[in-house]
Amino acid sequence: MKRRDDMDKKELRRSQLDLLKAISPLEYEQKCFEIEQRFFRSDFWKNSEVVAVTVSKPPEVNTWNIIKRGWEEGKTICVPKCMPKTKELIFHELNSFQELETVFYGLFEPTPSITKRVHRDSIQSVIVPGLAYTEKGYRLGFGGGYYDRFLSGFNGHTLSLAFSEQLVENLPLESFDIPVAEIITENGRIHCE
Ligand SMILES: Nc1nc2c(c(=O)[nH]1)N(C=O)[C@@H](CNc1ccc(C(=O)N[C@@H](CCC(=O)O)C(=O)O)cc1)CN2
Ligand SMILES: Nc1ncnc2c1ncn2[C@@H]1O[C@H](COP(=O)(O)OP(=O)(O)OP(=O)(O)O)[C@@H](O)[C@H]1O
């Protein structure tokens, strides 16, 4: 039987996704632009040479321009690959969108045979994805527990990009949940620590 918190989370995921899907295309573009602009001005971005980021899929905040800007600025951009059996997340250096492949869930992942693996210790900063966040930086993800596992033992900087619609009063918290240090929305920056 599923635990009560898991059921809550499942419902929360569904309702957050519905909320995000209801953002109109023009509003989506504008908010993504504002989040991006604020992000590029942040110390997080300026001080990170090796950055881990997901390849976004709507209705998530768009990360494609961040990847491109990173390449322009000579940063090392690492993107995640899921290991479904162990629920482990590994990162590979991405230098072209053509190095991506679709493995499952309609998500883009690095093609392992043509990209170099980057170990966790070499990653300075991680942009952590999620569906909902509290102002303390706690996060509801897609449910794999991939980032919770990756972040336990990660000592670098963490940040999430979110629409203000993704900020919630509270979330069902569990012992393994690791908060992100800051959140950038179209309206401002939240310092969580
Ligand atoms: N763009 C993007 N890429 C990303 C993430 C993300 O949030 N956004 N991830 C962030 O972690 C990882 C992928 N996360 C995943 C999380 C769960 C499942 C999955 O298989 N889910 C179950 C349902 C789980 C549930 O609802 O309880 C399934 O579909 O069977 C797949 C991928 C890595 N890449
Ligand atoms: N550090 C960990 N060690 C072992 N199991 C974990 C850890 N973190 C999470 N899990 C397991 O992973 C499952 C999914 O966790 P959770 O619902 O918190 O995922 P999520 O935060 O929504 O997803 P993600 O971290 O991928 O964005 C849970 O059943 C949990 O037991």
**Is any atom of ligand 1 closer than 6 Å to the C-beta of 16?**
no
Q: Is residue 140 part of a domain?
A: yes
Residue 167's SS3 state is strand
pTM, entire model: 0.94
In a domain, 143, yes or no: yes
Q: What is the CATH number of the domain that holds 45?
A: 3.40.50.10420
CB 32 within 8 A of CB 185: no
Peptide bond into 59 cis (omega under 30): yes
What ipTM score was computed for the predicted complex, to two decimals? 0.91
- pLDDT, tens digit, 9 for 90 and up, residues 6-62: 768 899 999 999 999 999 999 999 999 999 999 999 999 999 999 999 999 999 999
Q: Strand locations in 73-142, DSSP E? A: 76-83, 88-93, 100-102, 108-110, 117-118, 125-127, 132-133, 139-140
SS3 letters across 47-68: CCCEEECCCCCCCCCCCHHHHH
What's the CA gap between 39 and 170, in Å, rounded?
24
- Nearest residue by C-alpha to atom 9 in ligand 2: 145
How far is residue 130 CA from its own chain's centroid?
6
Give domain status of residue 116, yes or no: yes
Q: Is the CB of 142 under 6 A from ligand 2?
A: yes
In a domain, 4, yes or no: no
The answer on whether 28 is annotated among ligand-binding residues is no
64 CA to middle of ligand 1, Å? 18
Domain that holds residue 134: 9-191
Q: Tens of pLDDT along 116-166? A: 999 999 999 999 999 999 999 999 999 999 999 999 989 999 999 999 999
- Residue in 142, 146, 149, 150 to alter for ligand 1 test, most ligand atoms within 8 A of Cβ: 142
Q: How many folded domains does the chain comprise?
A: 1
140 labeled part of a ligand binding site:
yes
- In which band, very low, low, confident or very high, does the pLDDT at 5 lie, cut at 50, 70 and 90? confident
**Residue 12 among known ligand-binding residues:** yes
What pLDDT is attached to residue 174?
87
Torsions phi, psi of 189, nearest 5? Answer: -115, 135
Q: Which amino acid is at 160?
A: S
pLDDT level of residue 105 (50, 70, 90 thresholds): confident
pLDDT at 2 over 70: no
User: Quick one: average pLDDT of 164-182?
Assistant: 94
Rounded to whole angstroms, the Cα distance separating 149 from 151 reads 6
